[in-house]
Amino acid sequence: MDFIDNEIARLKREGLYRELKIIEGGQGAKVRIGGREVILLSSNNYLGLASHPEIKKAAISAIKKYGCGSGASRLISGSMELHKELEEKIASFKKKESAILFNSGYTANLGVISSICGRGDVIFSDKLNHASIIDGCLLSGAELKRYPHKDIDALERFLKKSSGFKKKLIVTDGIFSMDGDIAPLKEIVYLSKRYSAILMVDDAHATGVLGKNGRGTDEYFGLDNSIDIIMGTLSKAIGSFGGFVTGRKKLIEFLVNRARSFIYTTSLPPSVVASSIAAIDIIEKGHDLRDLLWKNVSYLKEELKNIGFDIMGSESQIIPVFVGDTHRVVEMSQMLLKEGVFVQGIRPPTVPKGKSRLRVTVMATHSKADLDAALKSFKKTGKKLKIV
The 10s digit of each residue's pLDDT in 21-61 is 999 989 999 999 999 999 999 999 999 999 999 999 999 99
Q: Are residues 196 and 102 in the same domain?
A: yes
Contact indicator for 307, 375 with CB cutoff of 8 Å: yes
Q: Could you give the CA distance from residue 100 to residue 187 in angstroms, rounded to a whole number?
A: 27
**Average of per-residue pLDDT values in the chain:** 97
Domain boundary among 234, 265, 285: 285
One-letter amino acid for residue 270 of the chain: P
> Do the bridges between strand 143-147 and strand 122-126 make them parallel or antiparallel, or are there none, so unpaired?
parallel
Strand order in the sheet with 98-102: 98-102, 243-247, 229-233, 198-202, 168-173, 122-126, 143-147
A 10 A CB-CB count for 199 gives 22
β strands within the chain, DSSP E: 30-33, 36-40, 98-102, 122-126, 143-147, 168-173, 198-202, 229-233, 243-247, 318-324, 341-342, 345-346, 356-361
Examine the fold and report which residue of 285, 311, 344 is the final residue of a domain before the chain moves on. 285
Pair (41, 118) in one structural domain: no
φ, ψ at 271 (rounded to 5°): -65, -40
Segment 180-207, tens digit of pLDDT: 999 999 999 999 999 999 999 999 999 9
Do 151 and 112 lie in one domain? The reply is: yes
Per annotation, catalytic residue among 205, 301, 355, 366: 205
Q: What contacts 131, CB < 8 A, 6 or more positions away?
A: 106, 350
Q: Out of 285, 305, 324, pick the residue that ends a domain.
A: 285
Task: Indicate the angle between helix axes 270-285 and 81-94, nearest 10 degrees.
Answer: 30
User: What's the predicted TM-score (pTM) here?
Assistant: 0.95
324 bridge partner residues: 356
The DSSP-derived string for 204-270 is TTTTTTSSTTS--HHHHHT-TT--SEEEEESSSTT-S--EEEEE-HHHHHHHHHH-HHHHTSBPPPH
Q: CA torsion sign, 107 to 109 to 110 to 113? A: positive
Give a yes or no: residue 15 inside a domain: no
Whether residue 281 is found in the same domain as residue 302 = no
Do residues 118 and 163 both lie within one domain? yes
Q: Are residues 117 and 258 in the same domain?
A: yes
What is the spatial distance between Cα 34 and Cα 386, in angstroms, rounded to a whole number?
28
- Among the listed residues 104, 177, 192, 316, the single catalytic one is 177
Distances (CA, A) of 105 to 262, 339, 349: 11, 33, 20
171 in a structural domain? yes
Q: Is the pLDDT of residue 224 over 90?
A: no
What distances in angstroms separate CA 293 from CA 138, 167, 237, 260, 378, one per listed residue? 36, 40, 10, 36, 20
Same domain? 236 vs 374 = no
Question: In terms of DSSP bridges, do strands 356-361 and 98-102 run parallel, antiparallel, or are they unpaired?
Answer: unpaired
Backbone angles phi, psi at 48, to 5 degrees: 75, 20
Judged by DSSP in three states, 99 sits in strand
Dihedral of the CA atoms 69, 71, 72, 78 (nearest 10)?
-80
Work out the average pLDDT over 325-338: 96
Examine the residue annotation and report whether 249 is marked as an active-site residue of this protein: no
Distances (CA, A) of 284 to 11, 208, 214, 227: 45, 9, 8, 22
Read off the pLDDT of residues 72-117 as tens digits, 9 standing for 90 and up: 999 999 999 999 999 999 999 999 999 999 999 999 999 999 999 9
Tell me whether residue 236 is one of the annotated catalytic residues. yes
Q: In terms of domains, do 250 and 352 share one?
A: no
Say how many C-beta atoms besides its own lie within 10 A of residue 13's C-beta.
Answer: 9
Band (pLDDT 50/70/90 cuts) for residue 1 is confident
Domain count, the chain: 2
Same domain, 220 and 165: yes
Domain span at 129: 53-285
pLDDT in tens, 265-322: 999 999 999 999 999 999 999 999 999 999 999 999 999 999 999 999 999 999 999 9
Question: Are 133 and 246 in a shared domain?
Answer: yes
Question: Could you say which of 236, 301, 355, 366 is catalytic?
Answer: 236
With b for 16 or more beta-carbon neighbours within 10 A and e for fewer, the 64-74 pattern comes to eebeeebeeeb
Preceding peptide of 349 cis, ω within 30°: yes
Same domain, 340 and 263: no
How far does Cα 240 stand from its chain's mean position? 13
Which CATH number do you get for residue 342? 3.90.1150.10
Cα angle, residue 219 at apex, residues 213 and 225 outer, rounded to 5°: 130
Tell me what percent of the residues of the chain surpass a pLDDT of 70.
100
Q: How far is residue 375 CA from its own chain's centroid? A: 25
Three-state DSSP state, 342: strand
Question: 13 in a domain, yes or no?
Answer: no
In a domain, 60, yes or no: yes
Reported as a single tens digit per residue, the pLDDT across 135-158 is: 999 999 999 999 999 999 999 999
